Amino acid sequence: MPETSDLFIFWAVVTARFLIPLTIPGYPLPGIILSLVLDMVDQTLFQEFTNLPLEGYQDYDKALDIYYLAITYLSTLRNWSNFFAFEAGRFLFYFRLIGVAIFEITHLRLLLLIFPNVFEYFFIFYELVRLKWDPKVLTKEKLITTVAFIWVFIKLPQEYWLHIARMDTTDWVRANPSNVTILIGWAALLIFLGWWLLRDLPPMRPGLIVAASYRHFPFYSLRAKKIRDNYTSLRFFDDFLHYELFEKIVLISLLSIIFAQILPEVRASSLQVAIGITVLIIINTELSQWFARRGTRWKSIIREFIVMAAVNFGIVLAYDFLIARFAGSISLPDTLFFILLLTLNVILYDRYRRWQIWNQAETVVFAGLGVKK
């Protein structure tokens, strides 16, 4: 039986891996760097300070990686003022997510090279620039060049090294200490290319902007009424079918298919998972609209999370009963754990996507009216 100290360390690390990504929307750069570091050292911590078997943790490790990547993407909905950078980031995020989903189904490692995780480093680049500049100085050409630079010089070598060659950098250097000169040369090349990308930006502003730069829009203010009156194409999640519902279904279905492949004792097909999640998202969306039509305002994201998690737990229990009738099954404890992650993603998407729509609308409306934001 595991010792109490081992269990304490295990749950401390798992809790940190769940909570630290939640800092990314508020403090993007420190949040993602801490998430990356913890992802790199968590299994080392277990090996050094506990006697726990780690076979089962490998699956949860991969799922938590996808979880913090999704939180990172959702933070761009709220925070990023450079809309072309957001569109580029969204493409890179879904490109990687699709690749991981196909990989988990086929286990073809080449897919991780074909669908590299460029989004993560693109996010870090954007937030590094935001420390000293307004991100709107990043032109389309510079952003496209940045994506190409990250893709070719960082992620392709990294993905090949990790997933195709299956090499460990520490072992590689130990085998031949002179290999460290190759790493130094590669790092110098990356630094030079990074300088080349930023060489023609305007002068840096004083200080560092670490906290997220976002505008919490007052949905029920007179300013909001002016936008509604002048921007008739603005959507408020009032229609049953709309772009936001479609993206939520795609996002959560991909996450769920990945989780279903990772989790042990899941005998539901990807199609069954996708159908079940589609039903769950539609019910969630319609329930949110029902609350909104009755004047419910979720001032606390924790309160909204508790209500929606309770609803989703009920849906999962019903789905567990029904899927058994069609020769499928799910691991109920694991599924309930991951439904918490999915519920959180849905809530953050609903909130942050609406803020993004409002802020884009405000830019369009008040620019057309000749009014400064």
pLDDT at 253: 79
Cβ atoms of 38 and 20 within 8 Å: the answer is yes
Closest CA to 139 of 182, 84, 94, 190: 84
Task: Report the amino acid identity of residue 334.
Answer: D
Q: Domain segments of the chain: what residues? A: 218-373
pLDDT in tens, the chain (373 residues): 567 777 888 888 888 988 999 999 999 999 999 998 888 888 778 877 888 776 666 667 777 888 889 999 999 998 998 989 999 999 999 999 999 888 888 888 889 889 999 999 999 999 999 999 999 999 999 999 999 999 998 899 888 887 787 776 766 777 788 878 888 888 888 888 888 888 888 888 888 889 987 666 555 555 555 555 555 444 444 444 466 777 887 888 788 778 777 665 555 566 666 677 777 777 777 776 666 555 455 566 777 788 888 888 887 777 777 766 666 566 666 667 767 777 888 888 877 887 777 777 666 655 554 444 4
Closest CA to 127 of 200, 38, 36, 210: 210
Distance CA 361, CA 368 (A): 11
User: Tokens standing for 220?
Assistant: 């029920």
pLDDT at 141: 94
pLDDT at 20: 93
Cβ atoms of 43 and 61 within 8 Å: the answer is yes
State how far Cα 134 lies from the chain centre. 23
pLDDT at 233: 46
142 burial (CB, 10 Å; 0-12 / 13-18 / 19+) is middle
pLDDT at 231: 52
pLDDT at 234: 47
Give the list of residues 6+ apart from residue 335 with CB closer than 8 angstroms, or none: 263, 266, 316, 320
Distance CA 286, CA 218 (A): 23
pLDDT at 237: 43
Distance CA 208, CA 246 (A): 37
Alpha-carbon distances, residue 168 vs 35, 132, 173, 174, 214 (angstroms): 21, 35, 9, 10, 40
101 sits in which H/E element:
helix 83-106
Closest CA to 31 of 76, 62, 89, 95: 76
Stated length of the chain = 373
Cβ atoms of 126 and 89 within 8 Å: the answer is yes
